[in-house]
Amino acid sequence: MNSTVPIRFDTAPAGGDLAGGALRTSAPATAPARPGTGERHLRIAEAPQSARRRAASPLIGGLVAVGVILVILATQLGLSIAISQGAYEARALEIEQRDLSRVERVLSQNVDKLSSPQNLAENAAALGMVQNARPATLRLSDGAVLGALDSPTSEVRGNLVPNSTLESMPVVDAEGLLVPRDAVGGAQEQSMEPPVRWKGKLPAPETR
Amino acid sequence: MRPLRTAALRRTIALAIVVIAALIFLVRLVDVQMVSAAALNEDARDKRAVPVKISSVRGDIVDRNGEVLATTDERYDVQLSPKNTTLNGGKFPRPDFERGIGTVTVTAKEAFAEIGALTGQSAEEIQKIVDDALAENPKSDFAYVKRGVDLPTLNKLKKLQIPWLTFDQHHTRDYPNGAVAGNLIGFNGFEGVPLSGVELSQNECLTGVDGQETYERGADGVALPGSVVVTEKAVDGGTVDLSIDLDLQWEAQQAINAQVQRTASAWGMLVVMDVKTGELVAVAEDGSVDPNDVDASDPAKREARSFTSPFEPGSTFKTITASALIDQGVATPATRNLTPDYLEPEPGVRFGDSFRHEPKQWTLTGILTQSSNVGTATLGNLLPAETRYDYLQRFGVGVGTHAGMPVEDSGLLYPPDEWDRQTSYNTSFGQALSATIVQTAGVYQTIANGGVRIPPGLVRGCTDAAGKRTELDHGEPQRAVSEETSDQVMQMLETVVTQGWYKNIIDIPGYRIAGKTGTAEQVDPETGRYRSGSYVNSFAGIFPADDPRYVAVASIAFPTAGDGGTAAVTAFREVAEATIRTFRIPPSTGTFEPLPTEY
């Protein structure tokens, strides 16, 4: 746009006519007359050929200029739409990420709760497990067995250490199925009556 | 020529106008962009930008294996806009989920019932919240429906799509193991203010620094692209690690709870300490608080009484007198003493044994085995009071501990110049002074560790969000008695266990145990005198005796059903078995020849 303006200003006095079409038609008429004339009058130099060709289309120049502006505007609009669309997408993704990290946090905390000693002990008792109170040790250097092999199993004691976070956690029942904790009438009561509990010493495998 | 000059003039004027305009713009540009830029930016941001606090997350407390003992949970507050509940006659449209198209009209009353069904409130209760808020301010735009709901409830509430129902989040503390180590971890009060335990003592490490970010946002709350400015990053709190072992702590609490319940005692404590490091691996008390549900516990049992409640230890401290005698070269384990069951060594001073007996020919080992007050006081009196006071202090009695709890009582030990004659004798068998159970464990740790006392530790250190670790200083190890002395005392203590009435209760096949019982009188705070017929029964033991690894002390106070001594020894054996399983301690090697107890 800027480059076309001076050209139009310069050509206007030279051609003496503002109309582009008139300039183009008068040019061939004057050109052949030049070599034929003997006397040379001072006259305004004609605009160079290239300038004249450019100057030939100020309307097209203007249209191009407006077009460029429109293209720039359209591009900018497009870009800003794209960016703000991106902002919405980013926000949606941020919300999704937040929700997922919330879920992840809850799940990992549930794992912490389920792996608490109270929960493990209650479930183990419900499944009829007993504890080998005094494990013996095998010394690898000489194969000696340290400690007594006839160790008694310790009786299962109901959990005596409260944990209120477990109230919402499921517990296994006698069949080993997950059931809501309050459905079995309290885990403490349940651990007193396991399905089958091993009595006496743990059986040792008879290997030789 | 005239038109030409006019044209030139015109151009000059135009140029001048352009230049002047450009200059004006330039000046203004410099002013806006550089001179008053900061102030303008500030103004602009305040008009469109929203500063948002980024909450830092309070750090975790973990056990020696990194198992989480305390962590931070996110909870959600359910809020409503009271004035908006009455818009359009209290009705609002909602997408019809059943048909999948169109909307259904829901009244506020129905919505209250739906919310209440999820939050556990009745429709009337929520209606009352709205009415109360509107009565106070007819344009009220904010009221809590319920604070601290969990994620599933939040998601269900969101699905209701009630336009005037909003949600906010806040952090709460979560203790996945409930009352396991609840006495040590402590708990937080209203608005997350720490009230006790490690939560309080390590608050500085656990607390993070809140951050702030500022961004401009449109009417729909979406941040304008490129406008997010994080002015301060949030720094999360550090992680505090304890020397406690989670599973052993639970087994210790099980053991002490069971014995306290069985004997209907007032209280019980049970601690396990690592001999080589002085670290406490379990500090159990009966009825410890569940920090998730503080109100459910006995207010008198919420603190870590192992640190805050000293008591007169009684006969377990005869070990100190014996150690001082041997370390000073005044006596040996075989030193003979004809011991009556009652003695009045000087006018107005008298003490007796716990059972009647003829004068016996006991060695110092025998005196410990029979737990004779008369014998211990007689021999102990061979040392001046100042020397015995010095040894008590070397074993950590009357000296404060720095394990990492907010309050650690140093017990009561009067300086020797304030001892009257009776007190001078009584201190030799663990009366007329007091110590916490942790200090008592420290006494036996010193003997088991070749005479070097390592101050007890509970909090190991703090790792901040950047990974920088700070160890907590518990104090320097100090030699209390010589290695030979501690060896001889170990042999005496092992003899005590092999000859004791409780040898069948305490027996763990394959493991040698050294230890000492105690039955201590306690001052009744109401009368200021010793309670009659009601004692604190203790057992302090070291295992395995051939290669000491752990010390455990059990105390049972004022049993009303059954024998407290048996209960204390049983609790010790159970926790010793659990410690052996937890740390996979190999059985003892070699055999033990008991020292002579009589001559």
Cα separation of B109 and B96, whole Å? Answer: 18
A-B C-beta contacts closer than 8 Å: 108
pLDDT given at position B47 = 66
Looking at residue B538, its amino acid is: S
DSSP element (H, E) containing B269: strand B267-274
Which residue among A91, A116, A147 places its CB closest to the CB of B509? A147
Q: Using a CB-CB distance cutoff of 8 angstroms, which residues of chain A are in contact with residue B513?
A: none
Interface mutation vs chain A, best among B4, B154, B177, B505, most A CBs within 10 Å: B177
Residue B210 has pLDDT above 60, yes or no: yes
Q: Which pLDDT value is given to residue A53?
A: 55
Element at B553 (helix H, strand E) = strand B550-557
> DSSP string of B460-485?
EEEE-TTS-EEEPP----EE-S-HHH
Tokens 């608490």 correspond to A116
Could you tell me the pLDDT band of residue A122, with boundaries at 50, 70 and 90?
A: confident
Q: How far apart are CA B551 and CA B272, in angstroms?
A: 6
Q: What is chain B's mean pLDDT, rounded?
A: 90
Nearest C-alpha neighbor of B371 from the set B317, B427, B445: B317
Map tokens 């069904």 to a residue: B117
Give the DSSP H/E element, type plus range, for residue B161. Answer: none
Percent of chain B with pLDDT over 70: 96
| 3-class secondary-structure state, position A107 | helix
Determine the pLDDT at residue A29: 45
What is the predicted pLDDT for the residue at B188?
A: 87
Q: Which residues of B touch A102 (CB under 8 A)?
A: 74, 151
CA distance A183 to B268: 33
Q: What is the model's pLDDT at position A27?
A: 45
Q: What is the pLDDT of residues B533-574, one digit of tens each?
A: 889 999 999 999 999 999 999 999 999 988 999 999 999 999
Query: CA A154 to CA A127: how far, in whole Å?
Result: 15
Give me the phi and psi of B25, to 5 degrees please: -60, -40
Residues of A whose CB is below 8 A from B175 = 165
**Can you read off the two tokens belonging to residue B518?**
């105690």
- List the one residue out of B588, B542, B579, B584 whose CA is nearest residue A148: B588
Which helix (H) or strand (E) segment is B96 a member of?
none
Three-class secondary structure assignment of A33-82: HHHHCCCCCCCCCCCCHHHHHHHCCHHHHHHHHHHHHHHHHHHHHHHHHH
Kindly report the nearest CA distance between residue B253 and chain A, in angstroms.
Answer: 7
pTM for the predicted model, two decimal places: 0.80
Nearest CA-CA distance, residue A146 and chain B, Å: 6
List the Cα angle B417/B420/B421 in 5-degree steps: 120
ipTM (interface predicted TM): 0.78
Q: What is the pLDDT of residue A126?
A: 79
Mean pLDDT computed over every residue of chain A:
72
Q: What share of residues in chain A are helix, strand, coil (percent, to 5)?
A: 55, 10, 35
Q: Quick one: tokens of B542?
A: 């070291």
Average pLDDT over residues B296-305: 90
- 3-state SS class at B189: coil
- CB-based contact A149:A204 (threshold 8 Å): yes
Q: Residue B212: helix, strand or coil by DSSP?
A: strand
The pLDDT of residue A200: 64
pLDDT at A17 (0 to 100): 44
pLDDT for the residue A192? 45
Tens digit of pLDDT for each residue in A141-197?
888 887 777 767 776 788 888 888 888 777 777 666 777 776 654 444 444 455 566
CB within 8 Å: A161 and B253: yes
The alpha-carbon gap from B174 to the nearest alpha carbon of chain A, in Å, equals 8
Q: Tell me which chain A residue has its CA closest to the CA of residue B251.
A: A117
Amino acid at B13: I
Handedness of CA A105, A119, B292, B181 (dihedral sign): negative
B74 vs A contacts (CB less than 8 Å): 102, 105
pLDDT band at B108 (very low <50, low <70, confident <90, very high): confident
**Interchain pair B180, A116: CB under 8 A:** yes
Question: How far is the alpha carbon of B348 from chain A, nearest alpha carbon, in Å?
Answer: 48
Residue B191 pLDDT greater than 60, yes or no: yes
Residues of B in CB contact (< 8 Å) with A are: 67-68, 71, 73-74, 150-151, 174-180, 222-226, 246-247, 250-251, 253-254, 257-258, 261, 288, 290, 292-293, 296, 508-511, 577, 580-581, 584, 586-587, 589
pLDDT, tens digit, for every residue of B37-55?
Answer: 888 877 776 666 677 788 8
Which of B71, B250, B296 is opposite residue A109, by nearest beta carbon? B71
Which stretches within A56-175 are classed as H helix? 58-114, 117-126
Q: How far is A149 from chain B (nearest CA, A)?
A: 10
Q: Which residues of chain B neighbour A121 with C-beta distances below 8 Å?
A: 250
Residue of B nearest to A79 (CA): B225
Cα distances (Å, whole numbers) of residue A155 to A22, A135, A206: 117, 15, 25
**Cβ of B262: how many Cβ atoms within 10 Å?**
16
Query: Hey, is A146 helix, strand or coil?
Result: strand
- Tokens linked to B116: 């209440």
Distance CA B437, CA B495 (A): 23
CA distances from B440 to A27, B81, B160, B266, B430 (A): 120, 60, 60, 20, 11
Name the residue in chain B with its Cα closest to that of A132. Answer: B581
Residue A37 clears pLDDT 60, i.e. is over it: no
What gap in Å lies between CA B193 and CA B207, rounded to an integer?
11
Cβ pair B588, A137 in contact under 8 A: no
Per DSSP, A16 falls in state S
Which whole-number Å values give the CA distances from B27 to A133, A158, B20, B289, B543, in the listed order?
89, 84, 10, 71, 87
The dihedrals phi and psi of B244, each to the nearest 5 degrees, come to -70, 145
Residue B155 pLDDT level (bands cut at 50, 70, 90): confident
User: A164–B178: do the CB atoms touch at under 8 Å?
Assistant: yes
Whether residue B293 and residue A151 make contact (CB cut-off 8 A), yes or no, is no
Span A72-102, pLDDT tens digits: 999 999 998 888 888 888 888 988 998 898 8
Distance from the Cα of B398 to chain A's closest Cα (Å) equals 32
Tell me what pLDDT residue B164 has: 85
| Cα gap B322→B332, rounded to integer Å | 9
Contact state of B178 with A118 under an 8 Å Cβ cutoff: yes
pLDDT tens digits, one per residue of B251-296: 999 999 999 999 999 999 999 999 999 999 999 999 999 999 898 8
Helix, strand, coil % in chain B, rounded to nearest 5 = 40, 25, 35
CB contact under 8 A, A105 and B577: no
**CB atoms closer than 10 angstroms to residue A173:** 17
Using alpha carbons, list the distances in angstroms from residue B462 to B3, B111, B201, B279, B405.
90, 48, 12, 16, 14
| Residue (of A132, A108, A138, A123) closest to A172 by Cα position | A123
Catalytic residues of B, by residue number, are 315
Cβ atoms within 10 Å of A20's Cβ, excluding its own: 16
Cβ proximity of B496 and B369 under 8 Å: yes
Instruction: Among A94, A151, A160, A166, pick the best mutation site for testing chain B contact (most B Cβ within 10 A).
Output: A160
pLDDT tops 60 at residue A137: yes
The stretch B140-153 carries a mean pLDDT of: 85
Considering only residues B506 and A25, tell me which one the structure prediction assigns the higher pLDDT: B506
Per DSSP, what are the bridge partners of residue B51?
B214
Range from B5-14, B131-140, B430-439 that averages highest in pLDDT: B430-439
What is the per-residue burial (b if ≥16 Cβ within 10 Å, else e) of A48-66?
A: eeeebebbbebeebeeeee
**Contact present, B278 and B474 (Cβ < 8 Å):** yes
DSSP string over B280-338: EEEEEETT---GGGGGGS-GGGSS-HHHH--B--GGGGHHHHHHHHHHTTS--TT-EEE
Q: Nearest CB to A164: which of B225, B226, B290?
A: B290
Q: Are A163 and B225 a contacting pair at CB < 8 A?
A: no
